[in-house]
């Protein structure tokens, strides 16, 4: 009887080739697991990491967890989009050094649903906090796409849907995988570093705008 490889075995094989999977609804647990793998690979070498993103939604907090970790890494993180990338997961793309979509990837710009609970006296403060983080997510997407923040915020509120070609024109991604740009296979030894070096420990941490190809 043929045994199917386990998910953990597959993830370990991909990890050995500096590939990290982020699939499913991006919640705190998934964001924590993916962040830990990214930080481990950052410590293990200077080559670029490939993050494969397939998420039908994300909590705002989980998306910011992953965004902050990618911003702080000393190696490039190239993001490959597959399946669906929706809601706050779209914001994760803004941290990618190179952003690639598979031909049939679907994108949806939409604000995440939120449930706020607490004392009546706290609700206003909690809502302001959520709104501020959502505004900053819109700003990150707008900056990486080279679009006005007001346009991006309007599209998120409207739940705008995009296919891969439309996402390329919107500049959510830099390219679409195809004959001219194949996805690196697991067995390939070819690596490409966009940054070319790890940052000095004396350099300030935080969001570092990364070069985009026209």
What is the CATH classification number for the domain harbouring 143?
3.90.226.10
DSSP β-bridge partners for residue 186: none
Residue 91 clears pLDDT 70, i.e. is over it: yes
With respect to residue 137, please indicate whether it lies within any of the assigned structural domains: yes
Per-residue pLDDT for 109 more than 50? yes
Q: Which residue has the higher pLDDT, 85 or 10?
A: 85
Rounded CA-CA distance 47/27 in Å is 27
Q: Are 85 and 96 in contact (CB under 8 A)?
A: no
Q: How many CB atoms lie within 10 A of CB 211?
A: 8
pTM of the model as a whole? 0.76
β-bridge partners, 55:
85
The answer to whether residue 214 sits within a structural domain is no
Return the SS3 of 43.
helix
Give a yes or no: residue 201 inside a domain: no
Residue 100 has pLDDT above 60, yes or no: yes
Domains of the chain: total = 1
Residue 161 pairs with which residues in a beta bridge?
108
- 18-22, 100-104, 111-115: segment of lowest average pLDDT: 111-115
Q: pLDDT at position 209, please? A: 40
* pLDDT (mean) for 81-98: 96
82 pLDDT higher than 50: yes
The pLDDT value given to residue 121: 58
* pLDDT value at residue 197: 37
pLDDT at position 45, please?
95
| Rounded Cα–Cα distance for residues 100 and 106 (Å) | 12
Residue 105 corresponds to which tokens in the numbers above?
């990837």
Q: Do 73 and 46 form a contact (C-beta atoms < 8 A)? A: no
Q: What is the pLDDT of residue 132?
A: 81
Q: What is the mean pLDDT of residues 62-80?
A: 96
181 within some domain: no
Mean pLDDT of the chain: 81
Q: What's the mean pLDDT in 157-172?
A: 96
What is the mean predicted confidence (pLDDT) over 180-199? 39
In this model, does residue 108 exceed pLDDT 60? Answer: yes
Give me the residues paired with residue 90 across strands: none
In a domain, 197, yes or no: no
Mean pLDDT, to the nearest integer, of 60-73?
95
Inter-residue contact 110 to 156 (CB < 8 Å): yes
Instruction: Judge whether 25 lies within some domain.
Output: yes
Distance CA 28, CA 69 (A): 13
Distance of CA 42 to the CA centre of its chain: 16
Domain hosting 97: range is 7-176
Is 213 a domain residue? no
Burial of 61 (0-12, 13-18, 19+ CB in 10 A): middle
Domain annotation covers residue 203: no
The pLDDT score that the predictor gives to residue 3 is 44
- Cα separation of 130 and 193, whole Å? 35
| Three-state SS at 107 | strand
Total Cβ atoms within 10 A of residue 98: 20
């Amino acid at each position: 009887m043929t045994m199917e490889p386990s998910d953990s075995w597959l993830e370990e094989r991909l990890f050995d080739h500096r590939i990290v999977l982020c699939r499913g609804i991006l919640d705190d647990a998934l964001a924590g697991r993916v962040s830990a793998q990214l930080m481990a690979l950052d410590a293990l070498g200077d080559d670029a990491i490939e993050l494969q993103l397939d998420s039908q939604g994300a909590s705002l907090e989980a998306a910011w967890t992953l965004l902050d970790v990618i911003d702080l890494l000393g190696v490039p993180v190239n993001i490959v989009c597959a399946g669906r990338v929706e809601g706050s997961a779209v914001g994760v793309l803004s941290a990618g050094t190179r952003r690639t979509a598979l031909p049939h990837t679907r994108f949806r710009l939409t604000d995440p649903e939120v449930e706020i609970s607490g004392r009546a006296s706290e609700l206003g403060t909690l809502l302001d906090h959520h709104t501020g983080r959502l505004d900053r997510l819109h700003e990150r997407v707008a900056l990486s796409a080279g679009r006005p923040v007001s346009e991006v915020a309007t599209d998120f509120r409207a739940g705008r849907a995009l296919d891969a070609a439309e996402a390329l024109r919107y500049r959510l991604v830099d390219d679409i995988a195809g004959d001219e740009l194949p996805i690196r296979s697991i067995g390939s030894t070819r690596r490409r570093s966009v940054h070319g070096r790890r940052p000095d420990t004396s350099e300030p941490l935080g969001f570092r705008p990364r070069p985009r190809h026209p």
